[in-house]
Chains A and B, each alone.
Chain A
């Protein structure tokens, strides 16, 4: 097809002379050029009409959409208050994190599946959540993920154009201690559930908000929760804030100082773990509570097994929740306040004070123990097969003689026992500032009548006398009871926050100091005179304590069921020190620990830690004082005295 070039240097007649001469070129295709012009006019008119439709006919519509694109109201998340220990050390802190929210104004439901798969969320869960939110105003964003992983951030960032409804908000998430330390006291936070929304405590909360779910986090939720602010911002297509239009600042939650001593807590946690290991039991269930009997302040509280609250921070995964929830050992149970068990022999000091106060016995009263005794036609064993021989009150407590207390209980009657047990705070909540405390049970004639519609069997009194039968207490109740007794009859409400009990009126009872002294001296014997709790002894310190070995099932029941369950006895130990002026009461429950002697070392370790720390602090204080007085001495000598020859001028 290549034709010879039309060379302009050649004369026109030399070119293509064989071709016919064309018509005048200036008129060539003029009609078609005019057609092109008409078409152009049409094109421009159509374009202008299109712009008229967009810009003039309904600019309002697009104006709103442009605003919706760029103006976003983003919540300013108020950080939750921190939790501090009694020395002001931080227990629970916050860490900066990113929270993913769904701006429901621009949300399209067909995006949900892609969003769910991109963020590793459950589609049905998400759908249900969106459904729950449908009645709320559109401008309220919905939380999709409390804490975003780097992968989530990358997903959101790379899909901005497709999911403009995804809103990344800077937030602070909870940072809990590692290894489940203090987990049961602290609790955890999470998104408010439907049930909690109906709870009056959370009346002012709205779906999607984060609340304390458990422990201190729940109890002091209002104190710890700040007030979220809001910010109206102009964002670009990447979600970057370009301009702030209006700000309502967030009010951070208030810090909360606990009565917990982290040093003591750490020792208690460790003692519990190692104590369990020594015994070699597979179920590490139990609790430790340390109280200051003079104030009711809880110094340490441990429950085993524990859990990692960090897994709950934000939104717990269904898998994790299932794992924790289906654990037969119930790690979420705070055994210090939610595990009511027969107190066993730790009930004996209370029996003793009841006996003395009611005048049933006095310090000269003795019982002969031959390894058991018959009451109401039934033989009740003592834990020592050979018997204790003639037993006084002191030895009865020291040796934990069952026959002695069978006799006391039988003489005193169930209602007297119940009266003093009630006085000690058994059968009712201690009022500690933690949610869902169990009350335990103190059986009485009235209780049997009310619940089982028959008269009290006198034989049951015998079991209750040694802390068995229907009687159950929580470790905290036991600790509180012994604490009140140790200080002569003033029971203070156990509490976890500094100044938390400022307005409390302690329960007091005019116990005869002599009676109290008799009981305490028995408890001193338990630890220091070769009694059942010698493992709780600390050299140089007067520790008073009481062991307890409580059956979890009657002997008949165990016989009938063989070894189907874990029917090993629960081990208890409760102690306070120093005997004459108690500063600390510690109790340990060791489920299926078989023998109370395994509980005693745990209590001992905690106590030792307490007094060691006290000595250390005193030494430091003394050093400081010495230094200060030395400085004062130097100052009083005057500066001149320090400069050789200063005065010689």
Chain B
């Protein structure tokens, strides 16, 4: 470790917030899985978190500049592993996302590819050494991001693929893509959304999305969204109390320890709990943005902002989904949802932010 680095320079506020969110997650997982076959999930999650902390430590010790050095290798490796996943991946509910590892672990590749995408975008945009982003370069980068994104989409996993483009979009924004292109992207997205909302019936839209995510809503009936809304709504202002959420404990909520953990939390802790938890996420997000602002160089800014974009995208898509404001696309809520791959990639991301932060005086 470089002698410049000091533990005191870590962003302890950020780490504390993440710790609180993780604890809330573990408690919610405990409640959601009590008396079920996966009763020990909360304990596993604790192990994942401890492992995540170790990975974070590793991630902040390797200078992010040298990480950027290995981006081509990481990128090619990611594409190769994603291809491998589509061949040997273990199918669950009709989608291939997991690579079985010895010892019963399942490795969700796409979660880690997110980090590679962040590094890729940072490296590509830094290497341009310009204050504005030519459309040709932007399309090149889009092409590069699209290859793994399409592979993930084919799994099929729309939600995770979306996060890749969120990172790309924020990166392009920062790199100075011309406003007219930004506007074009926004208009195209807006048009697509309004077309789908005008011309497609609710269930058709659901089916369209569920076509991409067959495991979340196999019949496209919106049953899961409805149950999630019922869970959240019945929580009321102050919630039903710990272990008292009927929707999650009686399993009307789909996967209340994973993708729908936020509705399980909203049911038991109510609107007050929701505001507190969302505030924690907001502060976390703002800390990451602040670290981006304090980053010593563009690469650091891109990395931090990429992670911020990733987090915001996860929150918007996941929390919006459980509240019925977004289609069911099934991506985890970072630091809360049960799952090793998601926890580990999140902690590595946290490590990256601290990595950048620790080196803010080095240049």
Chain A residues near B (Cβ < 8 Å)? 1-3, 5-8, 12, 16, 19-20, 22-23, 25-26, 28-30, 32-33, 35-37, 39-41, 43-44, 46-48, 50-52, 54-56, 58-59, 61-63, 65-67, 69-70, 161-162, 234-238, 242
The DSSP consensus for interface residues of chain A is: helix
Residues of A within 8 A of B221 (CB): 162
Q: Which one of B173, B249, B325 lies within 8 Å of A32 (CB-CB)?
A: B173
Q: Is the CB of B315 within 8 A of A47?
A: yes
Return the chain B residue nearest A22 by Cβ: B129
Residues of B within 8 A of A61 (CB): 233
8 Å CB interface, B246-260 against A: 246-247, 249-252
Return the chain A residue nearest B229 by Cβ: A54
Residues of A within 8 A of B68 (CB): 5-6
Return the chain B residue nearest A19 by Cβ: B129
The digit string for B44-83, where 1 denotes a CB below 8 A from any CB of A, is 0000000000000000000101101100100000000000
Q: Is the CB of B282 within 8 A of A6?
A: no
Q: State A33–B300 Cα separation when bound (angstroms).
A: 13
Residues of A within 8 A of B308 (CB): 36, 40
Q: State A161–B126 Cα separation when bound (angstroms).
A: 50
Determine if B187 is an interface residue (Cβ-Cβ < 8 Å).
Answer: no
Return the chain B residue nearest A46 by Cβ: B325
Q: Which one of A8, A36, A44, A55 lies within 8 Å of B282 (CB-CB)?
A: A44
Partner-binding segment picked from B157-165, B316-324, B345-353: B316-324
The digit string for B291-328, where 1 denotes a CB below 8 A from any CB of A, is 01111111101000100110010011001100111000
8 Å CB interface, B221-268 against A: 221, 223, 227, 229-237, 246-247, 249-252, 266
Q: Is the CB of B298 within 8 A of A25?
A: yes
B side interface size, CB within 8 A: 70
Q: Is the CB of A43 within 8 A of B170?
A: no
8 Å CB interface, B167-219 against A: 170, 173-176, 219
Q: State A159–B127 Cα separation when bound (angstroms).
A: 55
Q: Is the CB of B266 within 8 A of A51?
A: yes
Q: State A162–B299 Cα separation when bound (angstroms).
A: 50
Q: State A28–B363 Cα separation when bound (angstroms).
A: 15
Determine if B91 is an interface residue (Cβ-Cβ < 8 Å).
Answer: no
Q: Which one of A5, A62, A237 lies within 8 Å of B229 (CB-CB)?
A: A62
Chain B residues near A (Cβ < 8 Å)? 63, 65-66, 68-69, 72, 123-124, 126-127, 129, 131, 140, 144, 170, 173-176, 219, 221, 223, 227, 229-237, 246-247, 249-252, 266, 270-271, 274-275, 278, 281-282, 285-286, 289, 292-299, 301, 305, 308-309, 312, 315-316, 319-320, 323-325, 363
Residues of A within 8 A of B285 (CB): 40
Q: Is the CB of A8 within 8 A of B252?
A: no
Q: Is the CB of A162 within 8 A of B223?
A: yes
Return the chain B residue nearest A39 by Cβ: B312
Residues of B within 8 A of A48 (CB): 274-275, 278
Q: State A1–B127 Cα separation when bound (angstroms).
A: 10
- Some 21 contacts from A to B, beta carbons below 8 A apart, are A1-B124, A1-B140, A6-B65, A23-B131, A25-B298, A26-B293, A28-B174, A29-B175, A39-B312, A43-B315, A47-B316, A50-B320, A54-B229, A55-B235, A55-B236, A55-B266, A55-B270, A65-B233, A66-B246, A161-B223, A162-B219
Q: Is the CB of B63 within 8 A of A25?
A: no
List the 4 closest A-B pairs by CB distance, nearest first: A62-B233, A66-B234, A5-B69, A59-B236
Q: A20-B129, A66-B234 are contacts. A55–B173 as well, Cβ < 8 Å?
A: no
Return the chain A residue nearest B319 by Cβ: A47
Residues of A within 8 A of B237 (CB): 55-56, 59
Q: Is the CB of B223 within 8 A of A56?
A: no
Q: Is the CB of B236 within 8 A of A63?
A: yes
> What's the count of A-B pairs with C-beta under 8 Å?
170
Q: State A248–B235 Cα separation when bound (angstroms).
A: 30
Q: Is the CB of B246 within 8 A of A55?
A: no
Q: A6-B69, A25-B301, A63-B234 are contacts. A56–B247 as well, Cβ < 8 Å?
A: no
Q: Is the CB of B234 within 8 A of A65?
A: yes
Known: A3-B127, A29-B175. 5 other contacts (CB 8 A): A29-B176, A44-B315, A66-B252, A162-B223, A237-B250
B319 to chain A, nearest CB (A): 5
A586 to chain B, nearest CB (A): 63
Residues of B within 8 A of A6 (CB): 65, 68-69, 126-127, 299
A70 to chain B, nearest CB (A): 5
Q: Is the CB of A33 within 8 A of B293?
A: yes
Q: Is the CB of B323 within 8 A of A47?
A: yes
Q: A25-B296, A50-B320, A63-B236 are contacts. A8–B63 as well, Cβ < 8 Å?
A: yes
Q: A6-B69, A40-B282, A40-B312 are contacts. A32–B233 as well, Cβ < 8 Å?
A: no
Q: State A41–B315 Cα separation when bound (angstroms).
A: 12
B209 to chain A, nearest CB (A): 17
Residues of A within 8 A of B174 (CB): 28-29, 32-33
Q: A43-B312, A47-B323, A238-B251 are contacts. A59–B234 as well, Cβ < 8 Å?
A: yes
Q: State A37–B282 Cα separation when bound (angstroms).
A: 10
A5 to chain B, nearest CB (A): 4
Return the chain A residue nearest B294 by Cβ: A26
Q: Which one of B72, B249, B271 lies within 8 Å of A51 (CB-CB)?
A: B271
Q: State A533–B293 Cα separation when bound (angstroms).
A: 119
Q: Is the CB of A55 within 8 A of B298?
A: no
Q: State A468–B133 Cα separation when bound (angstroms).
A: 115
Q: Is the CB of B131 within 8 A of A70?
A: no
Q: State A175–B3 Cα separation when bound (angstroms).
A: 86
Residues of A within 8 A of B282 (CB): 40-41, 44
Q: Is the CB of B252 within 8 A of A36?
A: no
A100 to chain B, nearest CB (A): 21
Q: State A1–B136 Cα separation when bound (angstroms).
A: 12
A156 to chain B, nearest CB (A): 16
Return the chain B residue nearest A5 by Cβ: B69
Q: A29-B176, A43-B312 are contacts. A52–B271 as well, Cβ < 8 Å?
A: yes
A54 to chain B, nearest CB (A): 4
Residues of B within 8 A of A58 (CB): 233
Residues of B within 8 A of A28 (CB): 174, 298, 301
Residues of B within 8 A of A161 (CB): 223
Residues of A within 8 A of B231 (CB): 62, 66
Return the chain B residue nearest A64 by Cβ: B234
Q: State A39–B182 Cα separation when bound (angstroms).
A: 14
Q: Is the CB of B232 within 8 A of A54?
A: yes
Q: State A219–B17 Cα separation when bound (angstroms).
A: 75
Q: State A63–B292 Cα separation when bound (angstroms).
A: 43
Q: Is the CB of B173 within 8 A of A62?
A: no
Q: Is the CB of B230 within 8 A of A2?
A: no
Q: Is the CB of B250 within 8 A of A44?
A: no
Residues of A within 8 A of B294 (CB): 26
Return the chain B residue nearest A29 by Cβ: B174
Q: Is the CB of B325 within 8 A of A69?
A: no
Q: Is the CB of A44 within 8 A of B247?
A: no
Residues of B within 8 A of A70 (CB): 246-247, 250, 252
Residues of A within 8 A of B249 (CB): 236
Residues of A within 8 A of B229 (CB): 54, 62
Residues of B within 8 A of A52 (CB): 271
Q: State A3–B65 Cα separation when bound (angstroms).
A: 14
Q: Is the CB of A47 within 8 A of B278?
A: yes
Q: Is the CB of B129 within 8 A of A25?
A: no
Residues of B within 8 A of A41 (CB): 282
Q: State A1–B237 Cα separation when bound (angstroms).
A: 54
Q: State A48–B272 Cα separation when bound (angstroms).
A: 10
Return the chain A residue nearest B232 by Cβ: A54
Q: State A16–B286 Cα separation when bound (angstroms).
A: 33
Q: State A235–B247 Cα separation when bound (angstroms).
A: 10
A595 to chain B, nearest CB (A): 70
Q: Is the CB of A33 within 8 A of B234?
A: no
Q: State A43–B316 Cα separation when bound (angstroms).
A: 7
B138 to chain A, nearest CB (A): 12
Residues of B within 8 A of A46 (CB): 325
A458 to chain B, nearest CB (A): 83
Return the chain A residue nearest B238 by Cβ: A55
Q: Is the CB of B230 within 8 A of A66?
A: yes
Q: A3-B127, A48-B275 are contacts. A33–B289 as well, Cβ < 8 Å?
A: yes
